[in-house]
A = this chain, B = another copy of it.
């Protein structure tokens, strides 16, 4: 029997992965919010460097109570909305459902596990340049791989079938042995660039070209790595240089927080900054410059009280 997929948070990320699975013939059920009516009438459009496609005949919902029970749920809500997850997920989970949180930052799986202690929870990190460009319309510009890792209750059989579906859909999915280290590794990049593109109103390229911001990026990365190691994660020393080199070679890029900022959306400060800062402090390895950056972001953010 085919896996039944639920997509919670059909933005640039959920729309891309869910769309590709649906386009490959998988049984995918999309939960929309404000775009529901538009997509129901006009379908969903993905413009992609790997080939454009339009989904006109897909299962769309504006309430998860109307959705079927799902075997795999991809969650790609902004993490600022995660307080809604228990209520959104409850109706669509069965006892062997696998929930994949494709979100940025730390501590989100642990939070979800409080509400669903028996559910298979997987963390996912998308390495992708994709953005919403209109109603029911996303644009995928570069990359696209997804790195996932189990947080609790490994379920190899669902995982295997999920990986097969992804393969059919032409998606590159890798499985990390150690989700916690993978999360911290992602933070090594996310912490400097998400915040500094907002505070300096700059692209990654502009940041790398300025000797002062480039140096600050490097020092922020070193703080994150030190805190990760203190917490038992594994990150090679060379990883920092790798990230700097990779960013040098990327096209000028605005990370998700910069896009959120430019579009007056709440910033994911809690998951990308406050949770890691908390873990670092607890272990006696505070990330002082990261703290300063997060405090400046909180000060700038109009929705800071809500994060």
Contact = CB atoms under 8 A, between A and B. Distances in A.
B215 A296 contact: no
A295 B213 contact: yes
A157 interface: no
Interface string A60-100: 00000000000000000000000000000000000000000
A286 to B, nearest CB: 9
A300 interface: yes
Contacts of A212: 295, 298-299, 304
Chain A interface: which size bin?
A: 20 to 34
Nearest to A213: B299
A226 interface: no
B304 A216 contact: no
Contacts of A219: 295
A196 B288 CA distance: 17
Contacts of A210: 299
Interface string A296-307: 101110001000
A235 interface: no
Interface string A255-295: 00000000000000000000000000000000011011101
A163 interface: no
Q: How many copies does the complex hold?
A: 2
A121 B96 CA distance: 79
Nearest to A289: B292
A289 B196 CA distance: 15
A292 B213 CA distance: 10
Contacts of A295: 212-213, 215-216, 219, 289
Given A199-B199, A212-B304, A304-B212, A288 B296 contact: no
16 contacts: A199-B199, A207-B299, A210-B299, A212-B298, A213-B295, A216-B292, A216-B295, A216-B296, A216-B299, A219-B295, A289-B291, A289-B292, A292-B292, A292-B293, A293-B296, A296-B296
Interface of A: 196, 199-200, 207, 210, 212-213, 215-216, 219, 288-289, 291-293, 295-296, 298-300, 304
